[in-house]
């Protein structure tokens, strides 16, 4: 089968935050002492992009960027003029699709009044707020630096500035959270009228403060009850679930994250950023990740030492990698897309497909890859069935 070049996105990692949250396993670093070198970091982001464009010139093949995502850390620590400087520089280096989605992750406790106008002027057309909860006690236990009132004020301030595409991140199964508490968070989020809500279960990740000292969390049955009840509440409020943790108003699904879940390509720029690129000519899918610590990445200044790892994904690993993303989509994907994005024939995964259908995990449709409600509940087992 021929490997096709999928849509292209750009991920930009901004590694600093005010304070590391106890549940966070992302590449984020709390600000201590003097302010981080924000301006220098943006200059080196462009140097990193330049180096990747040289390395991947054949694979990129002038594909337009359909989405940009500033993640972190806390990207809203960077002033609007620095975000504008990066976007202006990126546009001179890469073609951008008309109306490209450009998202900035935002902490409600770090954005001053009036700054949203600056981000909008810089070209950011979508904001993602890390709310997590509207319960002040839960926010305190999660180590967040904002209150529920500050979160609501920040969202309204962004809307007043002209933003009409906003995501709110929420967590459930928080320490000692009840079903009523989880539903209250969803209700308050929907009342703000965002276009998108991400609803994640809190999990204990290795090498985090919560992993070392676990808080009292709801058990699996209670967490599942929260998920089901919140799904129903979000649907009633007009938010359609299209991925395990993602809910959107009609036509407001996140373009950037959809590209991940559909096994699209993306350049990863900045400290610890991950990228994936398909080279149709060579028939390979490559993954590259950058040196994790900001200082080490900056010291490399666009040179080879900025790369933490780079390898071609082995054909035997591609089915698992594809399913790890695509099976999260509620509507699933065409089976033909598996072949186009991996370069593998469907026959390669026929035994695993048969097993999953026999167990009631996948729908009985040879042209479509989609989990059943039972498969969604046991999604990790479904994905594991495609391990080589």
Q: Under the phi-then-psi rule, with left for phi > 0, alpha for psi from -120 to 50, and beta for the rest, what region is 132?
A: left
- Take residue 71 and report the two structure tokens written for it: 């993640």
- pTM for this structure? 0.96
Q: DSSP string covering 226-285, please?
A: HHHHHHHHHHHTT-EEEETTEEESTT---HHHHHHHTT-EEEEESTT-EEEEEETTTTEE
Number of structural domains the chain divides into: 2
Looking at the domain assignment, is residue 267 inside a domain?
Answer: no
Asked which of 259, 274, 304 is the last residue of a domain, the reply is 259
Per-residue pLDDT, 301: 83
* Residue-wise pLDDT tens digits, 69-97: 999 999 999 999 999 999 999 999 999 99
> Are 239 and 173 within one domain?
yes
pLDDT band at 161 (very low <50, low <70, confident <90, very high): very high
Residue 31: domain span: 8-259
CA distance 22 to 28: 12
Which of residues 259, 287, 305 is at a domain's end? 259
More confident residue, 114 or 61: 61
pLDDT at residue 113 in the model: 62
Domain boundary among 219, 235, 259: 259
């Amino acid at each position: 089968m021929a490997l096709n070049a999928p849509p292209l996105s750009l991920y930009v990692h901004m590694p600093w935050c005010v304070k590391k949250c106890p549940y966070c396993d992302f590449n984020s670093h709390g600000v201590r002492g003097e302010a981080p070198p924000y301006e220098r970091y943006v200059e080196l982001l462009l140097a990193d992009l330049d180096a990747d464009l040289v390395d991947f010139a054949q694979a990129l093949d002038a594909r337009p960027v359909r989405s940009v995502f500033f993640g972190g850390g806390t990207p809203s620590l960077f002033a609007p003029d620095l975000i504008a400087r990066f976007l202006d520089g990126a546009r001179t280096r890469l073609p951008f699709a008309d109306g490209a989605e450009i998202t900035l992750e935002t902490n409600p406790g770090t954005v001053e009044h009036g700054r949203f106008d600056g981000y909008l002027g810089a070209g950011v057309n979508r904001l993602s707020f890390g709310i997590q909860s509207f319960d002040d006690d839960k926010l305190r236990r999660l180590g967040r630096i904002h209150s529920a009132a500050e979160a609501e004020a920040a969202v309204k301030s962004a809307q007043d500035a002209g933003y009409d595409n906003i995501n709110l991140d929420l967590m459930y199964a928080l320490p000692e959270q009840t079903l009523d508490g989880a539903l209250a968070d969803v209700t308050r989020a929907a009342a703000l009228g965002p276009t998108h809500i991400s609803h994640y279960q809190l999990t204990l990740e290795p090498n985090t403060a919560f992993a070392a000292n676990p808080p009292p969390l709801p058990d699996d049955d209670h967490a599942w009850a929260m998920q089901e009840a919140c799904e129903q509440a979000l649907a009633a409020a007009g938010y359609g679930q299209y991925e395990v943790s993602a809910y959107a108003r009609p036509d407001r699904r996140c373009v950037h994250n959809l590209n991940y879940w559909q096994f699209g390509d993306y350049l990863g720029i900045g400290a610890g950023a991950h990228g994936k690129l398909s080279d149709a000519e060579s028939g390979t899918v490559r993954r590259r990740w950058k040196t994790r610590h900001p200082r080490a990445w900056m010291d490399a200044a666009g040179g080879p030492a900025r790369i933490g790892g780079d390898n071609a994904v082995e054909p035997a690993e591609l089915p698992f990698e594809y399913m790890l993303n695509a099976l999260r989509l509620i509507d699933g994907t065409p089976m033909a897309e598996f072949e186009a994005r991996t370069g593998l024939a469907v026959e390669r995964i026929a035994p695993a497909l048969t097993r999953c259908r026999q167990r009631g995990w996948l729908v009985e449709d040879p042209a479509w890859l989609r989990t059943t409600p039972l498969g969604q509940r046991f999604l990790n087992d479904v994905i594991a069935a495609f391990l080589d």
